[in-house]
Structure 1
Amino acid sequence: MVYKLSATLNFHSSDVRAISSPTSEIVLSASRDSTAVYWKKSASDASFAPASIFKPSERYINAVAYLPPSAENPSGYAVTGGQDAVINLFSLEDGQSEPVYSLIGHSENVCCLDVGQDGTIVSGSWDRTAKVWKNFQLVHDLKGHQQSVWAVLAVDSETTLTGSADKTIKLWQQNKVTRSFQGHRDAVRGLVIVPDIGFASCSNDSEVRVWTWEGDSVYTLSGHTSFVYSLGLLPTGDVVSAGEDRSVRVWKDGECSQIIVHPAISVWAVSVMPNGDIVSGCSDGVVRVFSAAEERWAAAEKLQEYEAQVASTSIASQQVGDVKKSDIAGMEALSVPGTKPGEVKMVKNEGGIIEAHQWDNAAGAWQKIGDVVDAVGQGRKQLYEGKEYDYVFDVDIQDGVPPLKLPYNVTDNPFTAAQKFLQVNELPLTYIDEVVKFIEKNTAGVNIRTGSEYVDPYTGASSYRSTGSSQGGQQTGGYVDPYTGASRYAPQATPSQQDFQSYSDPFTGSGSYRSTSQPAQPAKPTSSGFSTIPVAQPVRFAQANVEAMQNKIFQLSDSLGQSGVSITPLLNPGEKEALQTIFSFVSQAASSPSATQSNALLSSTVEVVLVLLERWPSANRFPLLDLSRLLFAYSPSTFSDVSFLDRFTSGLFTASDSDSGKAKETNILLLLRAMANALHTGLTAAHNSWLTQVLQQVEKLNYADLNKNQRTAYASVLFNFSCALVSGLKTNEQAFTYHLSMLLEAISGERVDSEPGYRSLVALGNTVYSKQSQATLSSQAPIFRSALLSLASTFPEDRVRMVVNEIVGNL
């Protein structure tokens, strides 16, 4: 049984990262070009053509699955997931291009999907969780992996299998782990059920393993020379695998029976049709179908054309071994048959060019698979902290100190990658140009495709926009991200000593705070006993892709209207006009944050947000809550009337209080960001009652139950309140008591991420500095000292140590 090319499906302009082939007439593909395609086979000439193109956002789509037909939707659904962290379901009815359902709950890239026979959807994400969805509702949150969940499998209605970058595979019964499988030496990337045995897994360790459900590793399929990304199962029970070594491999009885080489760097995904045909998705943006049935093979000229494409492809020398060119034999070496399928032999042709040939066991001949060249970088993808990168550089900062890791993708903006590297490692931003030059030098020759930076999963918020040139003459003003409109970041030339450098958080659009003073050189204490403290400038969550937010609100309105959720028009003409006014104002403010706007929005215009929040289902409120964040950030005078401010924020708290797990997590995150922005400068004693209500409502959230992004926003609320105290706000005892209680909870409870802990720490420092309610502070000083020392032990960072020492010395 020999597989040959059957069909070539061309549409995508970038890597095809996922494939599903539920029937012999349907193929679903998902790509980094931000589209998913529903391919349908023609009855006349057996070719495949796009029936629908789906584009849920401007971000990469990394996963796709098929939800079978139902009475509600006889054509079935395409299920997609990607960098926007949203799972979208598209009807395969002709002409449908908007998602029918959007499942919200993940906080990072959704990188894998599977659908069970009963319609259960399972998703895996970089947020280290898998989630189980039934009837479009979240029913199980699978938490237990230590790194990204790269593979999921819906075993049955109550059983799920997950594979992770932490090298383990876990079997779940509902939301409980019943068994953990260990054996892979690197990230687990794919899973497939093997009848009568158990399941198979593939990994970045280049191996495919077959397991029993009891945990025994039955056998290992070795042959791939790089990462193995995806698995499929033939009707015969044989396994198919695909990987970074450009190949799809067919395994029969534990041995490789055929290698299908592709003219691309990576074969990201493989799927098997019910008729036994194999479908692959590659880094060249092409979907290909291969068949063992001769009647479905492509025409002879197409087969020859494909073989020529494979033969003309250049291969990095790392992929075929480290051999001296002077030791390589001539073409006569190909007269000796190979000893095993997939064996690679390098030969030197008459022109002195090194060719790579691979033994095709089925054909009994050597097949040229490309010319060998010296690679421009690493020949394979790298994982860092469970996430995938084209490069992970070792950067030596100081002699005798272990090198720091700098992860980088060729689609990244070098300035953004450099800035994040400096921020994570607590290094001054004055080094940014040196790091950028290092990146550009070490990726020279790589075709850098302009792509979007990682943006806020709900708003499209991007990194800071350029305000001109960066140091060193690097012009940044002319570069504009085609997806988000964001420009490269240009650091301020001379930050003030007390300023906190702000690096754009990829999830919140906000800054991660740290002193601009080098950690190794702490400032000298002032006569008051403080040096780093106080920090009086509140943080704002102000980054946004306003156009994307606007489109999402109108899209949700249209979809709700079509679904018959409300018999009342979801947006009447007056409401549409009010929203247009709001978005026009916010768009102008966001594009020119330093410009002073002469007119603020009227409270009667902003009222439309409250009206829609009351009317819309909880799962659809997230863009309205996020819009509220921007209203507080860019039009604070709209809320100068404390009674309107109180009514507006009360509406936000009510709207975010949902029993639905998938919506509540998102809504709480966006609510906390909005509340942080609401605590702006200029608060007076007239706001005390309102402040008390806000802190009382926020305190009801259990800090231990919040995820990383929520905790960062929670800590920002506390920090901004402390900035008001530093600026002279005389608050009442009740609000102050709530504030201290929340600070203690955050400082005592943070054991995972230093950023929310540090923000809470600085908030406490500001509070102590403000010298308000000294009696209350004094009575709790021993408890706070213990919590502070524990935090410093958990996060042994210079910035933490400095502030802890200042606070302890002044309590």
Structure 2
Amino acid sequence: MRAILILLSLLLPLRQAPAQAQAQAQAQAQEAVHGGPVRALAVAADGALASAGFDQSMILWDAAGGRARAVVRWHAGAVNALAALPGGMVASAGEDGRVALWPSRPGAQPLRVLEGHGAPIVALAASGALIASAAWDGTARVWDLAGGLPPRVLEGHQGNVNAVVFGADGVVVTAGFDGTLRAWPEGEPPRTLAEFGLPQNTLALLPGGALAAGGADGVVRIVSADGGVRELQAGTRPIVALAASPDGAVLAAGSIGGSVALWDVATGRLRHRLEGPGLPVWSVAFAPDGRTLWTGGADRRVRRWDAATGRPMGPLGGPLGGPLGGEMEAAPASGFDPHGARVFRACSACHALTPEGGNMAGPHLHGLFGRRMGSVAGYEYSERLARGDITWNRETVADLFTRGPDEVTPGTKMPVQTVGNAEDLAALLRFLEQATR
């Protein structure tokens, strides 16, 4: 209660958004779906649900009714992280390196903005009046919303800081690209809790002070308070999302490969592997009662699952207007390469094929071949793509998906995706030549 009063006294005196902007946001929300992969989820103590994505938006949901009640587009770039705050408020952060604080009924502008990071923020955690952020500038920061002081800057990771949580004792814990888990007691030197030698992407707090870390090798590692380590082999694709049930008995792990595994924490037994949640799965979160699991992924949907049985309970929001019409169709339009259309499904969450489909999380692909990079009108490109020094053709598109966007166009907003199978790549190129004319 004290944390709620502190936050409300701090934020409510600030100027509220005009009623007209609030009404417009509510109108936009009626049939809302994300225009790109769902990157983050947050669930409040009362069950209120928020989602955020590569489409630069945050959606607040009426989970019981299955519809959005507000859509917020404020961040300049993908929204990568969310955290539920006391009093029904939500914190969002993303590619623009800023943390925005929103009331339960948001308007067009946040109540407060926290700035300081020099690169995309990819994770948030909250504890009372404290917010911790992890970013690709190699730092984490701890913001005291009640103190009015500059944030505490946590430096020590070699490379990106990918995840942050508050431990059982309130100490901030981070995980990074350097493969380490580090604890940051206030006023004391940081401690290295574990070192795994390969990137760690996500963290979750478990009972007894244990931590779960999701690695780039598809392994979930449970680090106990005494330093012992257990491994859960979730697959071979990187784990990018973890969530523990409220009682800590079940751990959900989502991967780049599209799978979601539900593990019994005490025994390490695999309870369920969810079927069809989307490729990849970027976010997972449990409802407060532990009975419902939410997932968000590249299919642009927030999906609901029965955590006890692993059965799907349906997505939230209205119908998707996919690039081929309908919700991520399995069948391509007549005359298009069917193999290539299936490969393209991983791209269709961010890109429309026609100008009528509009710019989504990425620009539309109409007229792709022969088009200069960074030239679609109305799309806000990252600085690297805006240079326009590549012309898209079979060779350059093949290079993009062979080496990856992070190698071909470093600094791009495009998620890292490669096509390692030569037949899949050839089929994708055929399909793009046909479908983007």
TM range (shorter): 0.5 to 0.7
What SS class does the counterpart of residue 215 from structure 1 fall into?
Answer: coil
Equivalent residue for 1:63?
81
Pairing partner for 2:186 from 174, 185, 191: 174
Pairing partner for 1:102 from 113, 120, 125: 113
1:34 offset after TM fit, Å? 0.4
Equivalent residue for 1:489?
387
Matches within 5 A, 1:250-399: 250-252=262-264, 253-276=267-290, 277-292=292-307, 298=313
**Which structure would you say has the larger Rg?**
1
Taking structure 2 as the reference length, the TM-score comes to 0.65
Equivalent residue for 1:480?
377
* d(CA) in 1 for partners of 2:50, 2:174: 22
* d(CA) in 2 for partners of 1:33, 1:161: 29
What SS class does the counterpart of residue 208 from structure 2 fall into?
Answer: coil
2:36 counterpart of 1:18: no
* d(CA) in 1 for partners of 2:76, 2:46: 30
* d(CA) in 1 for partners of 2:32, 2:295: 12
* d(CA) in 2 for partners of 1:311, 1:18: 20
Please, what is the CA RMSD of the aligned residues? 3.8
Equivalent residue for 2:137?
127
Change in Cα spacing, 1:162 to 1:18, as seen in structure 2 (3 Å) is: same
* d(CA) in 2 for partners of 1:261, 1:10: 24
Pairing partner for 1:79 from 58, 82, 91: 91
1:505 offset after TM fit, Å? 11
Change in Cα spacing, 1:10 to 1:278, as seen in structure 2 (3 Å) is: farther
Change in Cα spacing, 1:19 to 1:485, as seen in structure 2 (3 Å) is: closer
Q: Contact between 1:208 and 1:228, CA under 8 Å: does it hold in 2?
A: yes
* d(CA) in 1 for partners of 2:89, 2:68: 15
Change in Cα spacing, 1:372 to 1:450, as seen in structure 2 (3 Å) is: closer
Q: Deviations over 1:256-283 (max 9, x none)?
A: 1100022521000111111111111111
2:167 counterpart of 1:155: yes
1:195 offset after TM fit, Å? 0.6
1:187 offset after TM fit, Å? 1.3
1:174 offset after TM fit, Å? 1.6
1:481 offset after TM fit, Å? 5.0
Taking structure 1 as the reference length, the TM-score comes to 0.36
Q: Contact between 2:76 and 2:95, CA under 8 Å: does it hold in 1?
A: no
* d(CA) in 1 for partners of 2:374, 2:96: 26
Equivalent residue for 1:346?
none
Q: Contact between 1:63 and 1:80, CA under 8 Å: does it hold in 2?
A: yes
Q: Contact between 1:261 and 1:310, CA under 8 Å: does it hold in 2?
A: no
Q: Deviations over 1:97-142 (max 9, x none)?
A: 32001000101001100111x2310000000000001116444110
Equivalent residue for 2:362?
451
More strand by share: 2
What SS class does the counterpart of residue 252 from structure 2 fall into?
Answer: strand
1:376 offset after TM fit, Å? 6.3
Q: Deviations over 1:635-667 (max 9, x none)?
A: xxxxxxxxxxxxxxxxxxxxxxxxxxxxxxxxx
Change in Cα spacing, 1:490 to 1:202, as seen in structure 2 (3 Å) is: closer
2:104 counterpart of 1:92: yes
Change in Cα spacing, 1:21 to 1:38, as seen in structure 2 (3 Å) is: same
What SS class does the counterpart of residue 105 from structure 1 fall into?
Answer: coil
* Higher RCO (CA-CA < 8 Å; seq separation 6+): 2
Amino acid at match of 2:131: I
Change in Cα spacing, 1:260 to 1:177, as seen in structure 2 (3 Å) is: farther
* d(CA) in 2 for partners of 1:186, 1:125: 18
Equivalent residue for 1:241?
253
* d(CA) in 1 for partners of 2:199, 2:210: 20
Taking only the aligned residue pairs, the percentage that are identical comes to: 23
Aligned residue pair count: 324
2:55 counterpart of 1:33: yes
* d(CA) in 1 for partners of 2:288, 2:382: 43
* d(CA) in 2 for partners of 1:374, 1:186: 34
More helix by share: 1
Stretch deviating more after TM superposition (239-248 or 99-108): 239-248
Q: Deviations over 1:235-266 (max 9, x none)?
A: 35221111112111111120211000225210
Matches within 5 A, 1:143-222: 143-155=155-167, 159-174=171-186, 176-196=188-208, 198-217=210-229, 219-222=230-233
Equivalent residue for 1:230?
241
Q: Deviations over 1:684-736 (max 9, x none)?
A: xxxxxxxxxxxxxxxxxxxxxxxxxxxxxxxxxxxxxxxxxxxxxxxxxxxxx
Change in Cα spacing, 1:163 to 1:292, as seen in structure 2 (3 Å) is: closer
Q: Contact between 2:281 and 2:295, CA under 8 Å: does it hold in 1?
A: yes
Amino acid at match of 1:145: H
Pairing partner for 2:70 from 46, 49, 52: 52
What SS class does the counterpart of residue 29 from structure 1 fall into?
Answer: strand
1:373 offset after TM fit, Å? 8.4
Amino acid at match of 1:113: L
Q: Which runs of 5+ in 2 are unaligned?
A: 1-30, 315-325, 332-337, 352-358, 364-369, 390-408, 413-437
* d(CA) in 2 for partners of 1:221, 1:506: 33
Change in Cα spacing, 1:476 to 1:133, as seen in structure 2 (3 Å) is: closer
Q: Deviations over 1:282-335 (max 9, x none)?
A: 1111001112468x9748xxxxxxxxx999869xxxxxxxxxxxxxxxxxxxxx
Q: Contact between 1:85 and 1:106, CA under 8 Å: does it hold in 2?
A: yes
* d(CA) in 1 for partners of 2:168, 2:69: 31
Change in Cα spacing, 1:86 to 1:157, as seen in structure 2 (3 Å) is: farther
* d(CA) in 2 for partners of 1:313, 1:183: 42
* d(CA) in 1 for partners of 2:199, 2:312: 35
